[in-house]
Structure 1
Amino acid sequence: MGRTLIVTNDFPPRAGGIQAFVHGLASRRPADSVVVYAPKWRGSDSFDRRQPYEVVRHPGTLMLPTPGVARRAAELAKGCDTVVFGAAAPLGMLAPGLRSAGVGRVVMLTHGHEASWARLPVARDMLRRIGQGADVVTYLGDYTRRRLASVIPESKLVRLAPGVDTSAFHPGAGGAGVRKSLGLEDRPVVVCVSRLVPRKGQDMLIRSWPRVLREVPDAVLLLVGGGPSRNALERAAAGHVARGSVVFTGSVPWATLPAHYDAGDVFAMPCRTRLAGLDIEGLGIVYLEASASGLPVVAGSSGGAPDAVRHGETGLVVDGTSEAEIAGALTGLLSDPARARAMGERGRAWIEGEWGWDRVAARFSGILTATATGTEPAAEWR
């Protein structure tokens, strides 16, 4: 079996959906077949000791395609027949040098920001150059595929979306304990698990919340996560909604995320596209984790987010800029627990059938097997 070098800026212990995705791929490969090259973060030493494969850390918190990073990557590539870039842009620019170091095949993962790059003249040209260095470029769903296909030959594009650990994210994962600790035992809870940044839409949840409270007076909005918008969001909550109806947890340990999802009755992240289409949601693994947890999902219509929801079946897709749409979706689900429960059950079944990690890991293995044999991934993957 060949050895694979994974070069990525996105890797735990830094939290985030891309980080979880790349870590999940690495962790499901044979331990002696993987080496990861990633930036250093607080807690990375203890995290790395728990991994069964080698993790090499760049001394800073960001890797760019500089000569120093290129040299270190080339050293690590010795003995590797494949390199996987955790995100194509910008580190995919290292691909030609790694080929010169002996790597035979290059696989690049893409996410929302590459789809954004495809819209900008200068970034578009850079993304085209990056794509020229790849044998396989993965995409998350229909939205990102359409964007990438304007820059990268479709013959290189293969779908590879994140998996969900259904043994960790499931109904009854500890939500009762979270509710008790926060004093929310008997109240209807809308939960949002995400980084607190404008695109994710926590501000719109807060602005919509007075409308929700008019219909469901004892409802609570539970915002899980940290981020640069926290202070502004707390000020907005203090000025617009009833005291105690919005609860901020701040950042929580990764291992407790399933319990925080399970504390909700409805999951909501009404993401919206910002900056003239440059700041978009690539997919939204949080929607998949919420569905795995048995919750109905309210998602924004930004970018590829609708690919993570079956509208009307596992949840609802709304305009993330409309307070009325957001509030209407939330009150409708909170006021009809049977409908909400049925959506959650369908969502759980969908995740088990199509988004489980076993399926994703097999897909990734197939891509790497194609690398080793010189054949292309199966046509149905495209």
Structure 2
Amino acid sequence: MTRVLLVTNDFPPRQGGIQSFVHGMAERLPVEHLVVYCSTSEGAAGFDARQPFPVVRERTGMLLPTPGVARRAAEIARRHDCDAVLFGAAAPLGLLAAGLKRRTGIRRAVAITHGHEVGWAMLPGARALLRRIATHNDVVTYLTDYTRRRLAPAIGGLTALEQLTFGIDVERFHPGVDGEPVRSRHGLGDAPVVVCVSRLVPRKGQDTLIDAFPRVRERVPDARLLLVGGGPYESALRRRIAATGQTDAVTITGAVPQEELPAHYAAGDVFAMPCRTRRAGMDVEGLGVVYLEASATGLPVIAGDSGGAPAAVRDGHTGHVVPGGDAATLADRLTALLTDPEAAAGMGRAGREWMCEAWTWPTLAERLRTMLTPPE
């Protein structure tokens, strides 16, 4: 059986879609032994104590491929007799692969890409580093056809490009989750609720939701918008809510514990995150685990058209894809779903079925195990 060293900056208790992805894979990898080497974050000690594998934290918020980190990673790999390494994000930690293979018994290296590597592929200096990563990793993964098309010109032919998407815990996110406590906490009552679960950053499109909501309330006067998450864009969003006179209609919860996420999805009737591409294509959505979690919970989903996000929605079947930043189109789609509960419920059921068929962890974890297995 394979013994794996996972090197990552994206690991709980730090919250985010990538963190959930990497931790979900770590929990389910069918390997003989796994050890995690990662950066630290608040609450790490308690979280690590609950894990079924050892977690080694560097006393920094960000691991970089420095000589010190390279030495520490090699020490951990030798101590645990690892023969494979998995990089939770290819850039930049995938640069450690060559040294780990040279210094340890590691014979197989796999690097996961998300969305930011697309930006690296567009810039000459970063593209050269991405090519070095590809040269020394046996597999570089991609989320969607969109990311494959963007990565292939930079690294095609240097390594194997293989698809690896998020998995969803359909036992945790399901239509039977009780959202009433969240509704009660925020005074939502029986109002129709649009929910968005995401970090508060400009790419995610919470500002577009706020701009669209007055038009929604023209048709659905009691509609409420629940923005779940925290982040650097929160102050700007609160000012936007006040400026548009919607303090009674829009609620920002701030960051919530991971264990409360299913109930926050379940508090909504429609899920929407109208993400958009920014910075001339360098800031894009890789896929969007929140769309999958919302579908698993039985909600119709509205996604923006940034990067690989459309791959998380069967447009017209499990939800809709709208142009990122287009508040008018978004308002029309939201209004249509809120005023036709039967159609919305049908999309939610279709999304749930799709999650159970194609997006569960066991299939994806087995795919990754195969990628990590060294040749005989």
TM interval, short-chain normalised:
over 0.9
Contact 2:146 2:308 in 1 (8 A): yes
Q: For residues 217-265 of structure 1, what are the alpha-carbon distances to aligned partners after superposition, in whole Å with 9 as ceiling and x for unaligned?
A: 1000000000011111011101114331001111111000000000000
What TM-score does the superposition give when structure 2 sets the normalisation length?
Answer: 0.97
How far apart in 2 are the matches of 1:207 and 1:174? 29
Which one-letter code corresponds to 2:304 in the other structure? G
RMSD: 1.1
In the alignment, what sits opposite 1:33? Answer: 33
How far apart in 1 are the matches of 2:324 and 2:133? 32
- Is the deviation greater in 214-223 or in 171-180? 171-180
Q: Secondary structure at the match of 1:149?
A: helix
Q: Secondary structure at the match of 1:118?
A: helix
In the alignment, what sits opposite 1:84? Answer: 86
How far apart in 2 are the matches of 1:90 and 1:174? 40
In the alignment, what sits opposite 2:269? Answer: 265
Q: Secondary structure at the match of 1:37?
A: strand
Q: Check if 1:116 corresponds to 2:119.
A: yes
Deviation (angstroms), 1:173 = 1.1
| Percent identity of paired positions between Structure 1 and Structure 2 | 60
Contact 1:139 1:158 in 2 (8 A): yes
How far apart in 2 are the matches of 1:91 and 1:362? 23
Q: Give the alignment of 1:184-199 within 5 angstroms.
A: 184-199=188-203
**Which structure 1 segments of 5+ residues have no match?**
375-382
In the alignment, what sits opposite 2:47? Answer: 47
Name segments (4+ residues, structure 1) moved above 3 Å. Answer: none
Q: For residues 34-76 of structure 1, what are the alpha-carbon distances to aligned partners after superposition, in whole Å with 9 as ceiling and x for unaligned?
A: 0000001110000000001010001100000001100000111
How far apart in 1 are the matches of 2:246 and 2:257? 28
2:182 to 168, 173, 178: 178
Q: Check if 1:291 corresponds to 2:295.
A: yes
Deviation (angstroms), 1:31 = 7.5
Q: Give the alignment of 1:317-336 within 5 angstroms.
A: 317-336=321-340
1:358 to 343, 358, 362: 362
Deviation (angstroms), 1:317 = 0.3
Q: For residues 188-234 of structure 1, what are the alpha-carbon distances to aligned partners after superposition, in whole Å with 9 as ceiling and x for unaligned?
A: 00000000000000011001111111111100000000001111101
How far apart in 1 are the matches of 2:128 and 2:101? 21
Cα–Cα, structure 1 residues 297 and 241, in superposed 2: closer, same or farther, change >3 Å? farther
Q: Check if 1:162 corresponds to 2:166.
A: yes
How far apart in 1 are the matches of 2:106 and 2:248? 56
In the alignment, what sits opposite 2:254? Answer: 250
Task: Point out which structure has higher relative CO (alpha carbons under 8 A, 6+ apart).
Answer: 2
How far apart in 2 are the matches of 1:146 and 1:187? 42
Deviation (angstroms), 1:30 = 5.1
In the alignment, what sits opposite 1:379? Answer: none
Contact 2:2 2:31 in 1 (8 A): no
How far apart in 2 are the matches of 1:74 and 1:358? 29
Which one-letter code corresponds to 1:282 in the other structure? G
1:150 to 153, 170, 176: 153
Q: How many residues align?
A: 372
Q: Check if 1:71 corresponds to 2:75.
A: no
How far apart in 2 are the matches of 1:347 and 1:267? 12
**Which structure 2 segments of 5+ residues have no match?**
none
How far apart in 1 are the matches of 2:224 and 2:76? 50
